[in-house]
Structures are given as C-alpha cells and as structure tokens.
Structure 1
Amino acid sequence: MLAGVIDEDVVYAAMESRDPRFDGWFYVAVATTGVYCRPSCPAVMPRRRNIRLFPSAAAAQVNGYRACRRCRPDAAPGSPEWNARGDLVARAMRLIADGLVDREGVAGLAARLGYSERQVHRLLAAEVGAGPQALARAQRAQSARTLLECTRLPISDVAFAAGFASIRQFNDTIQQIYATTPTSLRQATSASRRGDRAPARGHGGPGAVPGVIALRLSFRPPLDVPALLRHLGARAVPGIEEYAEGTYRRSLRLPHGAGVVALRAAADHVACELHLEDLRDLTAAVRRCRGLLDLNADQQAIDAFLGADPVLGPLVAARPGLRVPGHADPAELTVRAVLSRRVPAGRVRARLADLVTAHGRRLAAPVGGVTHTFPGMATLAGAGSALPPERRPTLLALAEAVAGGAILLDAGADPRHARKQLLDLPGMRPREAAYIIMRALGDPDVFIPDLNVRRALHHLRARPGRWGPWNSYATQHLWALADSLR
C-alpha cells in the first residue's frame, strides 16, 4: 500500500473478510460510535458512510476516537512501511517506537534527525496524521495498558514507568483513549481472567515476579516461529544467549538498564517474557524483540512477490514466511560480523563468549544461562590488546566510531549512509558491512553474493534476479538452500 493512499474498496473488503494482513497498515474509525478498530475487528460491520480512515492509531486518537476494546487496535503489529523505507518519516517513526521522545523529547528527536522540530512535526502530521508528541503519547498509553494488565505495580508507578510526566496527564490520556480509568482498566482485565486455569507469570496473579512482564507479540502470518527460534538458538553465544526446550533467551542492553527476554512459540503469536531492571525500558525492549524476529514484515506481500520469480518460487513454496532475523544489539552484531571473516561459527561464538566473560556486565539477576550483557562499544574501545589480533584494527576503529557517535546504528540510522561509513573503516569488507545493514538496521533490500549464495545459485543454474526491494529475503532463501545442500 502506497504511503498516504488508502483505497476504500480495499479497506471495506478487508473489513468484510476480517483480513488481519492489513492490521497496522491503517485504522478504521466509526463516526457513530466514536471508536477506532483494526480492519480485522470482529465487531458488527459499520455502514460504509460512517467509516473514517487513519494511517496511525495516534491520528485516530487526535481526531477524538477511542480504542476498540475488542480488537485492541493500539496493539496491532507495526506498519511494515517503516521497516521498508529509509526516509525521514520512517526513521522518525522507528525512533519514536524505540522511545526516544519519552527519553529526550521532541527536541532530541529533531536533533537526532538533523531537522528542526517544526519540520519534523510538519512532515509527520502530513504523512502519519499526528505529530511526534501525539505518536509518543499513543505509545505511552499502550505501555501503560500493558503494565496495568501484566503487573501489580501501583498505578502511580505505572504512570511514570510508561513515560508520563504526571498522574493527571496519565489519567486524562487513559480516559481519552480507552474511555475508562486506569483502575477500571485493571479491574476489567482481572475480571476477564478469573476463569483462567493457569494465569501467566507477571500478570498480577499469585506468584507474579516483580519486574517480569508477560505479553504477546503479534505478527502477520505466515511465520514458522519454532524454526526461527531454533535458528537463533543454533548461533547463541554462551552467557548472553540460550536456547532450551523451544525457548530462546537473551540479554538486552536498554536505555535505563539491562533486561532478559524469553521468547517461545504460541498458537497465533510469540509469547514474550521480559525481565527488566527498569520498567521504563518496556517500549524499547518490545521494539528490539519485534525487530529481532522481523515481526512487522508484510510477509504475504513479500512471499507473493518472490514466489512469482522462476528461480525463487520453489524455495518460497518450501519455506513460506521465512524472515530476516534482526538483532537486539547492533554493537554486538557488528563485532560478530567482523570476527566471522573466514572463521568457523563455533570459534566465533567462543571468541564472543570470551569477550562477554572478560568485559561484559554481569546481570544482577541472571535468568537461566543468560548471565551477562554484551560489552558496550566504549568498553571494547578501551579493551585494546584483549581483542583478537587479526581483527584488532577494524574492531578498535569500529568501537571508537560507534562509541563516539560518528557512526549511528540505532533505529533512526540511514542504512545507505551507515553502510558508506562502515566501508570507510580500515579492514571492513563489503560483505560484513552489508550483513550489518541487513540485520542491525533491518534493511529489507540487501543482497549478499557470498560463497553460500553463489553455491545455491549454481545449484539452481541461475543468476541473481530482480528481487528488490526484497533482496534481504531472497538472500535468506538462498542461504537456507545452501545449508540444506551441505
């Protein structure tokens, strides 16, 4: 779907079929009820003349609509448009989703993007229907709802953990968006769960663990979640990652502290359990988990495009829903990419584990085999002789550039600019830079013609096709074929 263009015929057809593929792409408000919904909402179909369309939940809220209590549109999968695009609006949306406005305000967002506050507000309002404050406010409301439903924190603590500046602001926002009070919202959730046989940990039931939040991560099917978690588990670095009995765990370095996430497959979602040192990191932690599993991808559109290609079609049919795994820690991924040059995977993991043991931060409360966070770039820049000698110049230059802010690899980075900066580092190879951009920044259009890709293409007796803007997914399919050939 094109930015700023919403075909009402497509919308109404999606609503009639309750098609979840469009959830997060746009939001449908009903003028007669004052409620906005996902396109897949199971409620009675409104008359066509009564619907109003909005490109974001915040835009619907700015126009006076409140969130539907049945379909919970504020918790829909994020729009895949922001992952596929690298322009200013997309970068701003990713930074807002990472909680930057809550931490540094609109001034911090504008400074990070290199534009004035007025220009950022104008561009966001024109394309998304709401300014940065409204978008951040909608996100704070969703974080607050999660904390109200999934913890037993006092309501005043929920307000500040979600990023609100005052209790009054918190109460007013919940009333406007959900048409209820925070206390009533929590009581309604408790009442709906009284019949549950086994309440989830962290939901406020007996035995709930402080600082632990259990929630669902939604996605657009198809997605083989167990296979994706096994893929991550097979490459796990001891100390910071662990895979056991279908659950993948890893540590997170977050703006206000550390955390550990446990991910496992469920019926129609990914079950996520977050152990956070500081609950203000909820928004950032959720965004990192979604990026790690590529949960915002419009996978049916990607598979339809690549599946029509004569070379990739059979591969897509064999592995529908194959995602591009992201990464929860760009710094960690960059070090891993540099160390992986002509080195067996097992040895790379051993080297990373040594760095974690020597320079990582030990968690105050380890979870299973996850005991540390990966060392930050400032720490690695000072490690000197402790770094592997054959990659030391590249690693030191990389660590100093990222720690000093010369190279940005966060949610708001421009992939093309970051790739050029990486290639300017001494010893950085194009394959490594491309791999970092693909996984750390989630660029969907990176083709990596390495040995494995060439082996797969040789087996298929084919050449690279015109697979943009989904070259990253094409590369994943070719890598999977190369793995199966081995």
Structure 2
Amino acid sequence: MLSDDDAYAVLRSRDGRFDGRFFVAVVTTGIFCRPSCPAALPKRENVRFFRSSAAAMGAGFRACKRCRPDTAPGSPEWNVRADVTGRAMQLIADGLVDREGVTGLAAKLGYSERQLRRQLIADLGAGPQALARAQRAANARTLLETTSLPAGEIAFAAGFSTIRQFNDTLRQVYSTTPTSLRGSRPAAHRPPGVIHLRLTYRPPLDLRHLFEYLAARSIPGLEEAGPDFYRRALNLPHGLGLATLRPGPSYVSCELRLADLKDLPPAVRRCRHLLDLDADPRDITDHLTRDPLLAPAVVATPGRRVPGHVDPAEMAIRALVNDETTAGRALLAHLIHACGTPVPPEPGPPPFLADGVTHAFPRMDVLVNADAPAPANALARALAAGVVHLGPEADRDQAERGLLALPGMSREAVARIRLRALGDPDVFLPTDPAVERGLSHLGLTAEDSQRWRPWRSYAMQHLAT
C-alpha cells in the first residue's frame, strides 16, 4: 500500500493505473471512489484510503455512481502474490464463500477461520464475509443491469441468502433500490440468459496478440477464435457456460450464457484470468526496460499480457500432451468429442449453442478411463482425487512437486502449467522455439533472463514476436 501522501498524489493525477490497487473515501460525502474518478478533488483532510472496496463499505461509505469503483480491475497483487491473502482473494472472486461458506474457504487454504479472518483484516481491512458481501453486491448490480430476471431470482443468483439481505446491501452500498439500479432500459432488450459485461483493465493491452495466441492453439469443438474474438465452453461449479470475448473501446466486451446464474462470479474471474486483465503493465514495463538489450522489444510491443486459462485442470492436460503441436491438438480434439460434455442447444432460452463450440472439456473423473496416453490418465486421476491441486487455492511450488512426481510429466510441461494455469509471473521457457529466436535476435542468452525476475513470463511475450 502506498503511503497516504503518495496515494493522495495519485488521486490528484487521476491515474487510472492505480484503480483497484486502493480506494478513496471522502468523509464529507460518505462516498468512496477509484483514484481516477473525475469528481472534484477533495481536500486532503477529508480523504481516507482503503485497500479494498469491502473495507470502504465496512467503514460506512457508499460506492460512487460516477466512477463505479465496484467494477475497477482487480489488484495486480493477487496475480503476483502466492501467499494466503492472494489465494483467498482469488477464491472469493470465484464465489467459493457463496458455495461453501467461510469454513470451506479456510479449509481450502489450510487455515482456521480465525487465522484467515485475522490475516485478511490485517492485509485488506476486511474479513472474508465482508469481501464476499462486496462481491455479491457487484454480482447483483450486473444481473439487474443486464438481465430481465425478477429481483427475487437475482438476489439468490447473486449469492444472497435472503431478499432482505439483498435489499439492505444494495441500499447501503449503492444508496438505491434494485428497481433504480435496473434503470429504464426496456426488458425486451435484455435477452434472458445472456449477460453482457465490460471487463476493465489497466492500459495498454494488446488484445490482438492474445486472441491470435489463443486462435493458434484452439481445439475444434471446444473453442473458436480470430483476431478480434474468442469463444469457448466453460465447465463451472453449477453447470456449463459459454463465453464470448471481444475488444471494446477501453474494455473487453464479455458475453456470458450460463446454465445457472450463480456461476457469474467464477465465469468472470476465469475470463479475466484468461486475458490477464488484472496485471499492471506499468510495473512490468518499468522493470523490463531497465535491461538495455530487452528494452527495445518491450517498447515495440506495448501491452503484452501472459495468456492464462479458464480451467487449470484442462490446461494441465493440454500441457502434458503439448497443444503447441498439431498432433497434440488432434489428440485433444479426439478426447473432447469422445469424452467431453455436449453443449446442449437449449439449456434455457436463448439458444446456447454457438457456431463451432459443441463440447465442454471432459471432466477429470471421465478422463481417468478415457482412450488416452497413460500419463494423461494418471494426471486426470491425480487431479480428480485431489492428490494435486491446481485451483486458485494452489501453492505453486507444492503443485509443481506434485506434478513432477507423476509419470510422463516433463519440467517444460510443468513450467507451462505454472505459466498459464497458476498465473506465475516469473516463468521462463528457454527451449521454446519462439523464445529461442527472440533471444538470438537480440543477442541474449537464457542466463540473461535472470535480470528480468520477477517478470520473466512477460519478458517471454516480448521475445516471442
């Protein structure tokens, strides 16, 4: 966290790159904002700073209706930090507290509820229930604004346990009612079952490079992609989903079709992770450009992000069979059509099926006995049995040790799993052909990559052009 004086300097500059890193509350208005909010600059003595929107809400402040701090990008800390707070934030964003409660969250992380609450309050100024409540409020606002569902259904889909809790939270957080949040947009223009979102990020962002990367590795039936879109089926906690991502003017346009609206939080988190939308390119660029040999490549390709993945288990299987190769993608296509979950034409209106997307990736318990290479069966067995954990709760080093103990698992495959499934910002693949070419072109060697820690994953994106 910045010092209060430094944070006020950021507020004065309206620097949007700090949105989500901290929140600004004004005691004279009772409102909290992003640092980039265009409202009049408050006096220094009237300002308080918070590490999370939940902490600001807990202190009695309401969300600004102008800058909508509840839709700010996530703090880039949660991508980098592998400690309990970072993993807890990922799990809360995935909706785990709504599904399993604080008890389930603490169990996933291997902590007692008291230890976890103490740690989160120390780091974020709010406990797990308050953080989950802020998530529910944002979910409810999204569903009210983008669907025509009755408010009662939205309350439970957003994660609230009672209608009264739903109404009270919206009144406290947004100082308004569900009806007012819904606005005047005709219900006929809100197709049932379809949610349209704007996923924010810190610029710059090279979406074309991301979409081209995903298109080059797309598996027929599971996903389709082009230079300006990406679409795929999702396995979510309560059922299937279909996500379509496109570039917007200053955001990523996200269309979600969900079999169960309770899956909104995990669907959004996974799409954000896929495109690495919570990264802070300023910190990364500042570090990498200190190397005079690498700096020209970084400057020439601004906004490069590390492609993530929507399903860590799927990414592990893909890395094991090597979806970078034609043979690997052919094997994956066979497994998807033979063992994957068919995407039904109509789990609910409107039609769910999209051109080219017919199946979700096979579940791990199904892949255990699939007609696949023995190492893939063994990996699926370890993931299904919980011997290896790759979800948001996973410790990266522990996951690596578990993966390397499995038959047929190479260090390069594990590195790719750390890179894309676990979001490790400091992975380097010196034997990757594109990286080798980039190093050679710049007159660099693999040993030079040590200078780029802890951002070697991003350095590779600038090398592999």
8 Å contact from structure 1 (residues 302, 470) kept in 2:
yes
1:86 aligns with 2:82: yes
User: Per the alignment, do residues 229 and 454 of structure 1 end up closer, same or farther by CA in structure 2, a change over 3 Å counting?
Assistant: closer
1:345 aligns with 2:341: no
Q: Which residue of 1 aligns with 2:112?
A: 116
AA of the residue aligned to 1:467: W
Q: Distance in 1 between matches of 2:212 and 2:440?
A: 27
Q: Which residue of 2 aligns with 1:371?
A: 358
TM-superposed deviation, 1:207: 4.8
AA of the residue aligned to 2:420: R
Tell me which stretches of 4 or more aligned residues in structure 1 moved more than 3 Å: none
TM-superposed deviation, 1:265: 0.6
Q: Distance in 1 between matches of 2:368 and 2:50?
A: 46
Secondary structure of the corresponding residue to residue 353 of structure 2: strand
Match among 188, 191, 201 for residue 206 of structure 1: 188
Cα displacement string for residues 108-129 of structure 1 (whole angstroms, at most 9, x for unaligned residues): 0011011100000000011100
Q: Which residue of 2 aligns with 1:380?
A: 367
AA of the residue aligned to 2:363: G
Cα displacement string for residues 13-60 of structure 1 (whole angstroms, at most 9, x for unaligned residues): 222221100000000000000000000001111001000000000000
TM-superposed deviation, 1:462: 1.7
Q: Which residue of 2 aligns with 1:356?
A: 336
8 Å contact from structure 1 (residues 226, 264) kept in 2:
no
Secondary structure of the corresponding residue to residue 41 of structure 1: coil
Q: Which residue of 1 aligns with 2:54?
A: 58
1:148 aligns with 2:144: yes
Structure 2's unaligned 5+ residue stretches are 345-351
Match among 381, 400, 405 for residue 424 of structure 1: 405
Q: Distance in 1 between matches of 2:55 and 2:324?
A: 50
Q: How many residues are paired up? A: 454
Q: Distance in 2 between matches of 1:435 and 1:119?
A: 33
Match among 388, 399, 418 for residue 407 of structure 1: 388
TM-superposed deviation, 1:205: 4.6
Q: Distance in 2 between matches of 1:75 and 1:368?
A: 30
AA of the residue aligned to 2:362: P
User: Per the alignment, do residues 456 and 173 of structure 1 end up closer, same or farther by CA in structure 2, a change over 3 Å counting?
Assistant: same
TM-superposed deviation, 1:247: 1.9
1:163 aligns with 2:159: yes
Q: Which residue of 1 aligns with 2:303?
A: 321
TM-superposed deviation, 1:476: 2.1
TM-superposed deviation, 1:367: 1.4
8 Å contact from structure 1 (residues 24, 76) kept in 2:
yes
Match among 63, 67, 90 for residue 63 of structure 2: 67
Cα displacement string for residues 247-294 of structure 1 (whole angstroms, at most 9, x for unaligned residues): 210111000011010111111000000010000000000000000000
Q: Distance in 1 between matches of 2:439 and 2:216?
A: 25
AA of the residue aligned to 1:85: R
Q: Which residue of 2 aligns with 1:196?
A: none
Matches within 5 A, 1:1-400: 5-187=1-183, 190=184, 205-244=187-226, 246-340=228-322, 345-364=325-344, 365-383=352-370, 386-387=371-372, 392-400=373-381
Secondary structure of the corresponding residue to residue 210 of structure 1: coil
Match among 425, 449, 453 for residue 468 of structure 1: 453
Q: Distance in 2 between matches of 1:349 and 1:209?
A: 35
Q: Which residue of 2 aligns with 1:437?
A: 418
Q: Distance in 1 between matches of 2:228 and 2:77?
A: 30
AA of the residue aligned to 1:132: P
Secondary structure of the corresponding residue to residue 315 of structure 2: helix
8 Å contact from structure 2 (residues 375, 406) kept in 1:
yes
**Which stretch has the larger CA shift, 245-254 or 420-429?**
245-254
AA of the residue aligned to 2:5: D
Cα displacement string for residues 440-473 of structure 1 (whole angstroms, at most 9, x for unaligned residues): 0111111122142333323322222311110111
Q: Distance in 1 between matches of 2:355 and 2:331?
A: 21
TM-superposed deviation, 1:426: 1.2
8 Å contact from structure 2 (residues 304, 462) kept in 1:
yes
Q: Distance in 1 between matches of 2:228 and 2:444?
A: 36
AA of the residue aligned to 1:380: L
Q: Distance in 2 between matches of 1:209 and 1:233?
A: 28
Q: Distance in 2 between matches of 1:209 and 1:443?
A: 38
Q: Distance in 2 between matches of 1:337 and 1:219?
A: 27
Cα displacement string for residues 309-332 of structure 1 (whole angstroms, at most 9, x for unaligned residues): 122111101111110000011122
Compute the TM-score of the two structures, normalised by the length of structure 2.
0.95
**Which stretch has the larger CA shift, 310-319 or 289-298?**
310-319
TM-superposed deviation, 1:62: 0.5
Secondary structure of the corresponding residue to residue 216 of structure 1: strand
8 Å contact from structure 2 (residues 294, 442) kept in 1:
no
Identity %: 57
Cα displacement string for residues 160-199 of structure 1 (whole angstroms, at most 9, x for unaligned residues): 0000000011111111101111112213xx2xx6xxxxxx
AA of the residue aligned to 2:338: A
Secondary structure of the corresponding residue to residue 143 of structure 1: helix
Cα displacement string for residues 367-411 of structure 1 (whole angstroms, at most 9, x for unaligned residues): 12111100011110121xx11xxxx23212211110001111111
TM-superposed deviation, 1:81: 0.3
8 Å contact from structure 1 (residues 361, 373) kept in 2:
yes
8 Å contact from structure 2 (residues 437, 464) kept in 1:
no
Q: Which residue of 2 aligns with 1:198?
A: none
Q: Distance in 1 between matches of 2:189 and 2:4?
A: 48
Structure 1's unaligned 5+ residue stretches are 194-203, 481-486
